[in-house]
């Protein structure tokens, strides 16, 4: 332990990471550098500076990473229409590679020997942080206190604070949410408490960003999303940055009861976990992006993307954002988006995202002259379909002629 002189800690200013600061100082006898990121979690991050200073921390980083998070992580992921296990929009997973990246950057700037995080030994986040860190700096040391110490509950953490002179507002700690929560620009996740019984319905007052679909307005809300290169660049004609896009969609989606999810997922570490997720903006983005792609992508490109997506989603969920295979897939996905330009019109109503229009003045592959059910003035010869059908039926006819038809062996 003596060879650890300085550690960069992902620091929230909360109970867990405040304990980790003191524990690192005492257990490893090292200097601690704290890093606090604003990635749109909706909480003021500036108090983290005073809290870190009270713990004797001299090097304190507080970074606004909202635009980088949206531009370089969330938007690329949504170009792939990414969904894990059919439902989860990966709101927690996609934030971890950015945090790992910044931890390593700060370690390089400060000459730190190691990084540290507050992820527990039961979850996926420990894997995501550390895989990213090792990919970006192979020789870095990683300290995961939850895998080393014997503090296993909130009560034991609070007792540690009393014993080790850690300034914590104990009254506020007793009033904390009964759920383990993680929030960023893309989503809020909820775990623990009554959610540990997969049969128990979550409580209505748990949700922070959305009204229930039943309580949503009786009048629908219409939106127009403008796309360039597969990314949303404007809402209702107003140009917005990536972070502003997500913030705006979160607000309007939440107001219309959109984005709630309750699932049991398969963690990479081997266990099943029940979690609830609130992703209003992401839910809208997924539906709208598929709509503009339906108009502008070649059929086989679209189908290949759909085949690649589950593997891409699994890589992100499991923590392999910085892997060569994810970068390879990303290159293919990004190349497919060159012609994904246009506008999608949506109707939001009581938890539903309904596509009611899509258009592209420059890149639409929809040809109304061919697709029409009316007279097409010779644009398409329906007789051509016969040869197409016979060619594709040839192998079936051969097999049937050899006794391998329906019911054959």
Question: What CATH code is carried by the domain that includes residue 155?
Answer: 3.40.50.620
pLDDT in tens, the chain (409 residues): 458 999 999 999 888 999 999 999 999 999 999 999 999 998 878 889 999 999 999 999 999 999 999 999 999 999 999 999 999 999 999 999 999 999 999 999 999 999 999 998 888 999 999 999 999 999 999 999 999 999 888 789 889 998 988 877 655 555 556 788 899 999 999 998 899 999 999 999 999 999 999 999 999 999 999 999 999 999 999 999 999 999 999 999 999 999 999 999 999 999 999 999 999 999 999 999 999 999 999 999 999 999 999 999 999 999 999 999 999 999 999 999 999 999 999 999 999 999 999 999 999 999 998 898 888 888 988 999 999 999 999 999 999 999 987 765 5
Query: If you search the block for the tokens 């995080």, which residue do you land on?
Result: 117
Is residue 115 domain-shared with residue 254, that is, in the same domain?
no
pLDDT, residue 188, reads 96
Distances in whole angstroms, Cα of residue 357 to Cα of each of 102, 238, 263, 354, 404:
40, 18, 31, 9, 46
Q: Examine the domain organization and report whether 145 and 280 are in the same domain.
A: no
> Is 407 inside a domain boundary?
no
Does residue 385 belong to any structural domain of this protein?
no
Together in a domain, 220 and 324:
yes
Q: Which domain holds residue 17?
A: 6-65+92-176
Could you tell me the two tokens for 310? 């589950």
Residues 146 and 14 in one domain: yes
Burial readout 59-81 (b: 16 or more C-beta within 10 A, e: otherwise):
bbbbeebbebbbeebbbbbbbbb
CA distance 51 to 168: 9
Q: Is 180 a catalytic residue?
A: yes
Instruction: Give domain status of residue 1, yes or no.
Output: no
Number of neighbours of residue 32 by Cβ within 10 angstroms: 25
Residues 187 and 104 in one domain: no
Domain membership of residue 240 (yes or no) is yes
Work out the angle at residue 353's Cα, subtended by the Cα atoms of residues 267 and 339, and round it to the nearest 5 degrees: 85
353 shares a domain with 212: yes
> How many residues are listed for the chain in this entry?
409
Q: Which of 113, 125, 182, 231 is catalytic?
A: 125
Residues 48 and 195 reside in one and the same domain:
no
Shared domain check, 121 and 195 = no
Residue 82 lies in a domain: no
CATH code of the domain covering residue 197: 3.90.1260.10
Q: Check if 262 is active-site.
A: no
Catalytic residue among 79, 96, 260, 326: 96
Question: How many distinct structural domains can be found in the chain?
Answer: 2
Torsion over CA: 267, 9, 99, 115 (sign): negative
Contacts of 353 (CB under 8 A, 6+ apart): 253, 258, 283, 284, 287, 288, 346
Same domain, 273 and 329: yes
In a domain, 337, yes or no: yes
Question: Does residue 273 have an active-site annotation?
Answer: no
Active site residue 267: no
Check residue 74 and report its DSSP letter. I
Do residues 276 and 355 share a domain? yes
């Amino acid at each position: 332990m003596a060879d650890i002189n300085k550690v960069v800690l992902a620091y929230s200013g909360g109970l867990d990471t405040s304990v980790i600061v003191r524990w690192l100082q005492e257990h490893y006898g090292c200097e601690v550098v704290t890093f606090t990121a604003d990635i749109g979690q909706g909480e003021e991050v500036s108090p983290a500076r005073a809290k870190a200073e009270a713990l004797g921390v001299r090097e304190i980083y507080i970074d606004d990473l909202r635009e980088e998070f949206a531009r370089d992580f969330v938007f690329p992921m949504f170009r792939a229409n990414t969904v894990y296990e059919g439902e989860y929009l990966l709101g927690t997973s996609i934030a971890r590679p950015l945090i790992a990246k910044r931890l390593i950057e700060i370690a390089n700037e400060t000459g730190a020997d190691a990084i540290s995080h507050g992820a527990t030994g039961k979850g996926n986040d420990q894997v995501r942080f550390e895989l990213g860190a090792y990919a970006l700096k192979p020789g870095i040391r990683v300290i995961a206190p939850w895998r080393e110490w014997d503090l296993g509950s909130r009560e034991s953490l609070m007792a540690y604070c009393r014993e080790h002179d850690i300034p914590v507002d104990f009254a506020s700690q007793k009033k904390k949410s009964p759920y383990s929560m993680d929030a960023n620009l893309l989503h809020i996740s909820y775990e623990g408490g009554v959610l540990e019984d997969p049969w128990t319905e979550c409580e209505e007052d748990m949700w922070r960003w959305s009204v229930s679909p039943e309580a949503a307005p009786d009048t629908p809300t219409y939106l127009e999303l403008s796309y360039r290169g597969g990314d949303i660049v404007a809402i209702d004609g107003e140009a917005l940055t990536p972070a502003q896009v997500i913030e705006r969609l979160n607000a309007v989606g939440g107001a219309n009861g959109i984005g709630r999810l309750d699932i049991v997922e398969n963690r990479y570490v081997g266990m099943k976990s029940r979690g609830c997720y609130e992703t209003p903006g992401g839910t809208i983005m997924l539906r709208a992006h598929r709509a503009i792609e339906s108009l502008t992508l070649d059929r086989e490109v679209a189908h290949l993307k759909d085949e690649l997506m589950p593997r891409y989603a699994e890589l992100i969920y499991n923590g392999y954002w910085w892997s060569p295979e994810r970068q390879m897939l990303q290159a293919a996905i990004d190349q497919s988006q060159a012609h994904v330009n246009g506008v999608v019109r949506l109707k939001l109503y009581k938890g539903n995202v309904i596509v009611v229009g899509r258009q592209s003045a420059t890149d639409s592959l929809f040809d109304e002259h061919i697709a029409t059910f009316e007279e097409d003035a010779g644009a398409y010869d329906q007789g051509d379909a016969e040869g197409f059908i016979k060619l594709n039926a040839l192998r079936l006819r051969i097999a049937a002629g050899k006794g391998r038809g329906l019911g054959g062996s």
